[in-house]
Structure 1
Amino acid sequence: MTPLFVLIGASGVVFVVSAATSRSLHGHQTTALRGGLAAMFALTGTTHFVALREDLIAMVPPALPAPGLLVTVTGVLELAGAVGLLWRPTARWSAVGLTGLLVAMFPANVHAALSGSGLNGEAPTPLGVRTVIQIVFIAAAVAVWAGLRRDGRSAPAERGDRARQIATLPPAHGPAYPSSPGVVMVSRLELRSLRDVPGFLRAALRLRRAFRTSAGAITLRLAASPLAGTFWTWSSWADEPALQEYTRSRLHVGVMRSYRTSMRGSAFHVLDPAQVEVPTTWAEVRALTGSIRTDSESSSDRSHAVTGAGQTPEPEN
């Protein structure tokens, strides 16, 4: 009965602690059962090597060979399962393995009940009670597996949320800072493969350094979602000729050409603050550039999406 009490007690403690440290109760039941089962199997696995080892060997049905080895192996498996339950990536498969182990060891419980073999000199637990307890253990392990499987189905969305996490660099100021902008450009560039992200980030930082000395440059902001392979730029300029000079520079043209085939899509918007409302937050920049053209469109169509007055930059010339 002790393992049952440990399962119930440890699960209750883990549930209370987990619920007290979180605003939502979602998933706490599974976490509590994981903790309870881990504590229970840590206890029962340890007894395979100390204290109750001889009693457990006596419980092994006579038809099975090497009872001492079987007790050792099952003890190792129980301890490994306990550890596996505590680490989320392995918890689901540990629950599966422990379920199979509980089923495989049930004949030993039947033999002990029928032969009168008890633990630590105590009378054996009646077979009916043993059966109910074993069903509870199996049900707890199955519940952990089912709970983690249910959570796993939502994992892609969670990974997607992480992939959409955006990092921003501090603004870079050019020679014309802090004058009022005559033109603003926002862009979004989406890479085909994450393998290109490190190289493109280095290229973006080189362009950022060049911006600081580019005539007519006011402010450049850069944001990236590395796990999504997406970059955004948000720059302001004294006038459109200054923007055109920058986008036609050898460095800028070279970067755009070298990554042309690596781009899944892109969008550029040139805005005239005198005629249209320009973005004031990154959320507005992402909303404005959110529609990425598909590869079925021509290269020039993908690269030139203009809003407001002025000419489109020419990054691919």
Structure 2
Amino acid sequence: MKPLFVLLISFLSTLLVTKKIHQHFKVDFSARIALSIMLCFTAIGHFVFTEGMVMMLPEILPIKNQIIYLTGVFEIGAAFAIHLPKYRKQTAWVLILFFIALLPANISAAMLNVDYQNATYTGTGVTYLWFRIPLQILFILWTYFSGIKWIKI
């Protein structure tokens, strides 16, 4: 829920600032800024809630802590790279693949009742997926339309 609020509040704030500065809305730019802020916000969780995020990964995976740290670093890097015109589309495609790859971990975590912030198995369970799956789809579409194929409005 928090990443959604960060995304939307950042988007609306940036939209208003760009309107004030440029006398028109810069929707695609504002969407990318919001995506970057959201990615940096979620990346912080990889370093603050590492133990709980490790619980989301399959047992078969080795070096779980390093995977969590690496994905946090990746999110920060992508947050910057999405603003480089030369790398924007490639970054957006990689982010889309990343968001798709995260879905099984989120499904597994919900099925195990993982509460990653407290590193316990007392989370909300599978009902969380009714929110998380549409949210993941929103992140994918947001990335696609702000980084690959902008529709002028």
Give the Cα–Cα distance (whole angstroms) in 2 for the partners of residues 37 and 17 of structure 1: 16
Q: CA deviation at 1:83?
A: 1.1
Q: Which amino acid aligns with 2:73?
A: V
Aligned equivalent of 1:55: 52
Do 2:51 and 2:116's aligned partners in 1 also have CA atoms closer than 8 Å? no
Pairing 1:1-317 to 2, within 5 Å after superposition: 1-25=1-25, 28-49=26-47, 51-121=48-118, 123-124=123-124, 126-144=128-146, 145-147=148-150
Q: CA deviation at 1:69?
A: 2.1
Structure 2 unpaired stretches of 5+: none
Q: CA deviation at 1:100?
A: 0.9
Give the Cα–Cα distance (whole angstroms) in 1 for the partners of residues 31 and 23 of structure 2: 19
Q: Which amino acid aligns with 1:35?
A: I
Q: SS at the partner of 1:131? A: helix
Q: SS at the partner of 1:137? A: helix
More displaced stretch, 34-43 vs 91-100: 91-100
1:166-186 alpha-carbon deviations (Å, 9 max, x no partner): xxxxxxxxxxxxxxxxxxxxx
Give the Cα–Cα distance (whole angstroms) in 1 for the partners of residues 14 and 23 of structure 2: 15
Structure 1 unpaired stretches of 5+: 152-317
Per chain length, whose mean CA-contact separation is higher, i.e. which structure has more relative contact order (CA < 8 Å, sep 6+)? 2
Give the Cα–Cα distance (whole angstroms) in 2 for the partners of residues 9 and 92 of structure 1: 24
Q: CA deviation at 1:23?
A: 3.5
Q: Which amino acid aligns with 2:31?
A: L
Do 1:34 and 1:85's aligned partners in 2 also have CA atoms closer than 8 Å? yes
The structure with more strand, counted as a fraction of residues? 1
Do 1:60 and 1:67's aligned partners in 2 also have CA atoms closer than 8 Å? yes
Percent sequence identity over matched residues? 25
Q: Which amino acid aligns with 1:96?
A: W
Q: Which amino acid aligns with 1:43?
A: F
Q: Which amino acid aligns with 1:38?
A: S
Give the Cα–Cα distance (whole angstroms) in 2 for the partners of residues 20 and 89 of structure 1: 28
Give the Cα–Cα distance (whole angstroms) in 2 for the partners of residues 74 and 89 of structure 1: 22
Aligned equivalent of 1:178: none
Do 1:6 and 1:40's aligned partners in 2 also have CA atoms closer than 8 Å? yes
Q: CA deviation at 1:139?
A: 1.1
Give the Cα–Cα distance (whole angstroms) in 2 for the partners of residues 14 and 89 of structure 1: 23
Q: SS at the partner of 1:59? A: coil
TM-score, length-scaled by structure 1: 0.43
Q: What RMSD over aligned residues (CA atoms) do the two structures have, in Å?
A: 1.9
Q: CA deviation at 1:32?
A: 1.2
Q: CA deviation at 1:35?
A: 0.6
More displaced stretch, 86-95 vs 3-12: 86-95
Give the Cα–Cα distance (whole angstroms) in 1 for the partners of residues 144 and 75 of structure 2: 16
Give the Cα–Cα distance (whole angstroms) in 2 for the partners of residues 35 and 135 of structure 1: 19
Do 1:114 and 1:127's aligned partners in 2 also have CA atoms closer than 8 Å? no
Give the Cα–Cα distance (whole angstroms) in 2 for the partners of residues 93 and 118 of structure 1: 33
Q: CA deviation at 1:21?
A: 1.5
What is the count of residue pairs matched by the alignment?
146
Larger Rg: 1
Q: CA deviation at 1:44?
A: 1.0
